Structure 1
Amino acid sequence: MAVTLAPAALARVQHYVRETPGALGLRFGVKRAGCSGWQHFADLAREQAADDTVFEQDGVRILVDAASLPLVDGTEIDFVKQGLGEAFVFRNPNVKAECGCGESFTTEAERAA
């Protein structure tokens, strides 16, 4: 099991953690949202829960809660700049379908149901 950061995302998260007092690392997971069912989220982690799995990459801790882990296992997080915008993107091998706007996704198990 792993969640990894591409070089651009690693540099961005290192900067955020360094500049934010009390930040432990990156909190990454999913929540129910959107028209397809699941939506990725990423934020700075300020505490670690008992059920978190912690991945570490070049000094950055990535904290994933137990409920999210099966849905994000294998994800690579990147940070991309397109035109005037920039954003984190999630390359998640568990995504089997996305809504039209690309904000939410469905897994294979949900597509079969």
Structure 2
Amino acid sequence: MLAAGNIVSLTDAAADRVKELMAAKDKGFLRVGVKNGGCAGMEYTMDFVAEPEKLDERVEDKGVEIVVDSKAVLFLLGATIDFETTKLHSKFVFSNPNQTDACGCGESVTIVPATR
């Protein structure tokens, strides 16, 4: 298992929200990844899964465990996941050093794979 700092890390707010979501689900994992889509080329994904896929990476941070899609590791390396609440929305927000651009609405991003 890789340490949280090696792939992604969670802020306190994100860890608290993941704990809430997983308590409501009773079991399983929150799986984080990326997929092709949107006007900027890629979108972040978050899904509930009963079990990680064979090559997925488990990440433990701040008392929670999430799963990172193996195909997304180089795109998410060094990213921080936060949970933001404003008057108009509540959502997970990615701060990703590999992200080079985002569309105007913020739903899709351009990400280059990490080189380390």
User: Shorter-chain TM-score: which interval?
Assistant: 0.7 to 0.9
Structure 1 residue runs of 4+, over 4 Å off?
Answer: none
Q: Which residue of 2 aligns with 1:64?
A: 68
Which residues of structure 1 form unaligned runs of 5+? Answer: none
Cα distance change on mapping 1:73 and 1:102 into 2, 3 Å:
same
Q: Unpaired runs of 5+ in structure 2?
A: 1-5
What is the alpha-carbon distance in structure 1 between the residues aligned to residue 103 and residue 59 of structure 2?
Answer: 29
Is 1:90 matched with 2:82?
Answer: no
Is 1:107 matched up with 2:111? yes
Give the SS at the match of 1:44.
Answer: strand
Which of 6, 10, 19 lines up with 1:14 in the alignment? 19
Aligned mates of 1:98, 1:32 — CA distance in 2: 13
Distance in structure 2 (CA, Å) of the matches to 1:90 and 1:28? 11
The alignment partner of 1:70 has SS state of helix
TM-score (norm 1): 0.86
Q: Is the CA contact 1:3–1:62 (under 8 Å) kept in the aligned structure 2?
A: no
How far is 1:107 from its partner?
A: 2.6
Q: How many residues align?
A: 108
Q: Give the alignment's TM-score, normalised by structure 2.
A: 0.84
| Paired position in structure 2 for 1:76 | 80
Cα distance between partner residues in 2 of 1:82 and 1:11: 16
Identity of aligned residues (%): 38
SS of structure 1 residue aligned to 2:14: helix
Cα deviation for residue 108 of structure 1 reads: 4.4
Q: Which moved more, 1:70-79 or 1:41-50?
A: 41-50
CA RMSD of aligned residues (A): 1.5
In structure 2, C-alpha distance between the alignment counterparts of 1:104 and 1:70, rounded to whole Å:
17
Secondary structure of 2:107's counterpart equals: coil
